[in-house]
């Protein structure tokens, strides 16, 4: 198992490096480079100054050289300064990361548990009105734009009813801290739970058709016990995999919800960095997001190998 | 018509199953209606003598009336006319983006599955690579790229239709990996079948085998994925335009209208409700249709 983990981590590192390079190159193609931005602020600059500045900032170097330099500095913990906020990038990113993890981590837990409960209920009562209701709710969740759902919630609960603060972070206003978390959390959960519940339903249905479930029923176990002891334990394996694969998606998809609710998280920071041509900041934000996706898929593999003893550890499986 | 004996090909069976699926048919009909409505934007505006583009500052925030069926917005533009114009853009981006992604995906997936060997390894590693990039931030970066740095002239970048095609291209560039995987899996499975081996034994070229024998049979999974991708792209485009990096004025999409409505949520909430409802209805319809196609095209049901 340890060897499998190490090999998996090794290949993940290679993928991360390759992705870092692509992101680095793309960010270099955003409008204006650091020197252009300095020049627009300083109309007295002469062409010689531009050339000298380009050498100082290293933007006259070929891209591989620049990427190598950046990587070397990053390896020493130096991710550069944010151009717009005038602080070391990591100092800005770490609190934002915490805020996003608080929001998406809680949403992840709630939506996973809710999806398993809804999916199992729908599968057990297959074809009933309850099943159809859950299915409709799931469809709506998949199809609704998260930011629009957020807007509607703000209109109802903040503008009309005045129960919750429209947006912001705990500690910013008069409302208690948890109140700021309610609407972003509800939005993320409603959008996330639909797809997961549908997946859980079909995974549980597969298990319900197995012989050992029929045997358990025939032994005279109560329906509830069969579901809890036999069905869920086996049905959870594919669900855990899909849930882990979704971590990165949830993390990066929270961007729109963070913007709507003025939540000071990674997504909002990423958007501001890209829009403000803040190269260093945008780069690190995107790297963290990419890392979350890689971590999620690693977690999915490991959980799969751990939960299903039939998977040979270290062996490749084809999906 | 009744005289002709029904030829029961696989596709006949499949379409019969699709017609029996009420949710899928509803989704399909709603999508067709939406497309017709979007195409009729100009007709509506000229018949009702309103405009979704021209501003009328003496007639801002007008309530729904006989003249303006859904009222007017903060610049006095007819909300329904604007909504229909936006539908045209949103639906076109979704459709073209999905078709572009499935063309690229099919090409790459079928090549990987048919040629195999190192070509397969390289192409599929690339697919996984693109698939593992964070979707929404990558969309934003690609939408914000400075095209002049890629060698396009500044005049070209500023030209009218370029922004629209750029958004379509972005969804093509990021949307193909899922389709490529499906096309590869279909090609791999089919390449082993007897009729493909027979064609190969008769000396058919790889290109002909792919075109005549494999792609038509692998297509059903791709059609399903394209339909579902269209819904996802419409959702993502609305997000991009809402953030202000998607479709740019003077053109607008549903997301663009929501961007405009954000600051007016307290005074004119309906301006935010209409475009959001359009997105919701459209994406539910594509999902209904996609799931229905998936069930109807399931090869395990063809034998019955």
Handedness of CA A55, A61, A67, A71 (dihedral sign): negative
Q: How would residue B197 be classed by pLDDT, with cut points 50, 70 and 90? A: confident
Mean pLDDT estimate for chain B: 84
pLDDT: which is higher, A253 or B227: B227
Chains A and B form CB pairs within 8 A to the count of 121
Query: Hey, of A28, A31, A36, A151, which one would you mutate to test binding to chain B, going by the most B CBs within 10 A of its CB?
Result: A151
| Cβ <8 Å between B266 and A159 | yes
| Per-block mean pLDDT, blocks of 10 residues, chain A (319 long) | 81 87 85 68 71 70 80 80 80 89 92 91 87 90 91 88 81 77 92 89 82 76 73 79 82 89 89 86 89 86 74 47
| Cβ <8 Å between A293 and B269 | no
The model's pLDDT over B143-165, given as tens digits with 9 standing for 90+, comes to 888 777 777 777 777 776 788 89
Question: What pLDDT does residue A115 have?
Answer: 92
Shortest Cα–Cα distance, A271 to chain B (Å): 7
Whole-number Å distance between alpha carbons of A193 and A172: 30
Question: What pLDDT does residue B180 have?
Answer: 92
**Alpha helix segments (H runs only) across chain A:** 2-28, 34-41, 47-57, 63-75, 89-124, 129-143, 146-153, 177-208, 211-218, 223-225, 232-260, 266-275, 279-307
| Cβ <8 Å between A139 and B258 | no
pTM here? 0.86
| pLDDT exceeds 90 at position B108 | yes
Question: What pLDDT does residue A176 have?
Answer: 78
Question: What pLDDT does residue B285 have?
Answer: 93
| Cβ <8 Å between B134 and A152 | no
Whole-number Å distance between alpha carbons of A224 and A220: 11
Distances (CA, A) of B230 to B34, B96, B237: 14, 8, 10
Q: Is B96 on the interface with A (CB under 8 A)?
A: no
Which chain A residue shows the shortest CA-CA distance from B265? A155
Q: Is B145 on the interface with A (CB under 8 A)?
A: yes
Question: What pLDDT does residue A309 have?
Answer: 64
Q: Kindly report, as residue ranges, where domains of CATH 1.10.3720.10 are found in chain A.
A: 94-307
Shortest Cα–Cα distance, B12 to chain A (Å): 27
Query: Hey, of B137, B261, B266, B283, which one would you mutate to test binding to chain A, going by the most A CBs within 10 A of its CB?
Result: B137
Q: How would residue B1 be classed by pLDDT, with cut points 50, 70 and 90? A: very low
Q: What is the DSSP letter of B253?
A: -
By Cβ distance, the residue of A148, A274, A286 closest to B144 is A274
| pLDDT exceeds 80 at position B102 | yes
Question: What pLDDT does residue B174 have?
Answer: 92
Span of A258-267, B11-20, B46-55 with lowest mean pLDDT: B46-55
Which chain A residue shows the shortest CA-CA distance from B242? A147
| Cβ <8 Å between A31 and B273 | no
| pLDDT exceeds 50 at position B245 | yes
Whole-number Å distance between alpha carbons of B58 and B67: 15
Please report residues of A whose CB lies closer than 8 A to that of B129.
Answer: 15, 18-19
Question: What pLDDT does residue B98 have?
Answer: 94
Shortest Cα–Cα distance, B38 to chain A (Å): 20
* Contact predicate B278/B254, CB 8 Å: yes
The model's pLDDT over B200-225, given as tens digits with 9 standing for 90+, comes to 888 888 888 888 888 877 888 888 88
| Cβ <8 Å between A293 and B245 | no
Shortest Cα–Cα distance, B49 to chain A (Å): 31
Whole-number Å distance between alpha carbons of A32 and A282: 14
Question: What pLDDT does residue A106 have?
Answer: 92
The CATH number assigned to the domain with range A94-307 reads 1.10.3720.10
| Cβ <8 Å between B149 and A143 | no
**Alpha helix segments (H runs only) across chain B:** 10-20, 22-39, 41-48, 79-115, 117-131, 135-144, 154-158, 162-191, 194-201, 206-208, 215-243, 254-261, 270-296
* Contact predicate A231/A207, CB 8 Å: yes
Question: What pLDDT does residue A314 have?
Answer: 47
Which chain B residue shows the shortest CA-CA distance from A288? B134
| Cβ <8 Å between A286 and B134 | yes
| Cβ <8 Å between B276 and A148 | yes
Question: What pLDDT does residue B54 have?
Answer: 73
Query: Closest Cα partner for A242 from A253, A250, A232?
Result: A250
Query: Closest Cα partner for B147 from B135, B138, B156?
Result: B156
Please report residues of A whose CB lies closer than 8 A to that of B265.
Answer: 151, 154-155, 159
| Cβ <8 Å between A143 and B242 | no
Q: Considering just the CA atoms, what is the radius of gyration of chain A in Å?
A: 24
Distances (CA, A) of A161 to A3, A153, A157, A176, B262: 57, 10, 5, 17, 18
| pLDDT exceeds 90 at position B94 | yes
Q: What is the DSSP letter of B148?
A: G
| pLDDT exceeds 90 at position B188 | no
Cβ within 8 Å of residue B255, ≥6 positions away: A145, B90, B237, B238, B239, B240, B241, B242, B246, B247, B275, B279
Q: How would residue B281 be classed by pLDDT, with cut points 50, 70 and 90? A: very high
253-292 of B, contacting A, C-beta below 8 A: 255, 258, 261-262, 265-266, 269, 272-273, 275-276, 279-280, 283-284, 287-288
| Cβ <8 Å between A142 and B273 | no
């Amino acid at each position: 198992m340890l060897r499998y983990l190490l090999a998996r981590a090794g290949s993940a590192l290679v993928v991360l490096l390759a992705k870092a390079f692509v992101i680095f190159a793309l960010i270099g193609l955003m409008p204006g480079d650091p020197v252009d931005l300095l020049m627009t602020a300083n109309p007295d600059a002469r062409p010689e100054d531009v050339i000298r500045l380009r050498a100082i900032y290293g933007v006259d170097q070929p891209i591989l050289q620049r990427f190598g330099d950046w990587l070397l500095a990053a390896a020493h913990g130096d991710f550069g300064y944010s151009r717009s906020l005038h602080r070391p990038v990591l100092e800005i990113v770490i609190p934002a990361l915490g805020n996003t993890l608080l929001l998406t981590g809680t949403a992840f837990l709630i939506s996973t548990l809710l999806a398993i409960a809804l999916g199992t209920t729908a599968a057990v009562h297959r074809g009933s009105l309850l099943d159809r209701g859950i299915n409709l709710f799931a469809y709506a969740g998949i199809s609704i734009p998260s930011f629009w759902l957020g807007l509607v919630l703000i209109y109802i609960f903040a503008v009309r009813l005045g129960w919750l603060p429209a947006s912001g972070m705990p500690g910013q206003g008069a409302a208690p801290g948890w109140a700021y978390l309610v609407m972003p959390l509800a939005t993320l959960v409603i959008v996330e739970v639909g797809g997961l519940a549908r997946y859980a339903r079909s995974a549980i249905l597969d298990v319900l058709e197995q012989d050992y479930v029929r045997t358990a029923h025939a032994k005279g176990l109560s329906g509830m016990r069969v579901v809890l002891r036999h069905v869920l334990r086996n049905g959870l394996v594919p669900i855990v995999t899909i849930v882990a694969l979704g971590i990165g998606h949830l993390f990066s998809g929270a961007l729109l919800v963070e913007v709507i609710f003025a939540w000071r998280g990674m997504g909002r920071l990423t958007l501001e960095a890209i829009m403000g041509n803040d190269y260093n900041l945008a780069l690190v934000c995107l790297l963290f997001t990419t890392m979350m996706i890689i971590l999620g898929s690693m977690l999915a593999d490991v959980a799969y190998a751990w939960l299903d003893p039939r998977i040979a550890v270290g062996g490749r499986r084809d999906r | 018509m009744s005289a002709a004996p029904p030829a029961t090909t696989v596709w006949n069976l499949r379409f019969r199953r699709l017609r029996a699926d009420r949710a899928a048919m509803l989704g399909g009909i709603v999508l067709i209606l939406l497309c017709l409505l979007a195409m009729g934007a100009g007709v509506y505006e000229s018949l009702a003598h309103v405009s979704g583009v021209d501003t009328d500052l003496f007639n801002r925030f007008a309530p729904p009336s006989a003249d303006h069926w859904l009222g007017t917005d903060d610049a006095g533009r007819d909300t329904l006319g604007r909504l229909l114009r936006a539908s045209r853009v949103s639906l076109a981006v979704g459709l073209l983006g999905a078709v572009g992604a499935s063309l690229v995906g099919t090409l790459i997936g079928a090549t990987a599955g048919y040629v195999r060997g190192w070509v397969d390894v390289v192409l599929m590693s690339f697919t996984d690579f693109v698939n593992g990039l964070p979707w929404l931030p990558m969309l934003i970066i690609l939408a914000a790229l400075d095209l002049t740095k890629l060698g396009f002239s500044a005049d070209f970048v500023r030209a009218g239709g370029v922004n629209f095609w750029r958004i379509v291209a972005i969804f093509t560039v990021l949307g193909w990996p899922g389709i490529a995987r499906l096309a590869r899996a279909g090609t791999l499975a089919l390449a082993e079948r007897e009729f493909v081996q027979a064609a190969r034994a008769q000396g058919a070229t790889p290109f002909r085998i792919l075109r005549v024998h494999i792609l038509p049979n692998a297509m059903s999974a791709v059609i399903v994925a394209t339909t579902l991708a269209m819904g996802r792209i419409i959702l993502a485009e609305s997000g991009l335009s809402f953030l202000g990096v998607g479709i740019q004025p003077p053109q607008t999409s549903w997301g663009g209208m929501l961007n405009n409505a954000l600051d007016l949520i307290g005074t004119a909430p309906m301006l935010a409700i209409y475009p959001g409802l359009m997105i919701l209805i459209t994406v539910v319809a594509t999902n209904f249709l996609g799931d229905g196609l998936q069930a109807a095209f399931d090869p395990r049901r063809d034998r019955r």
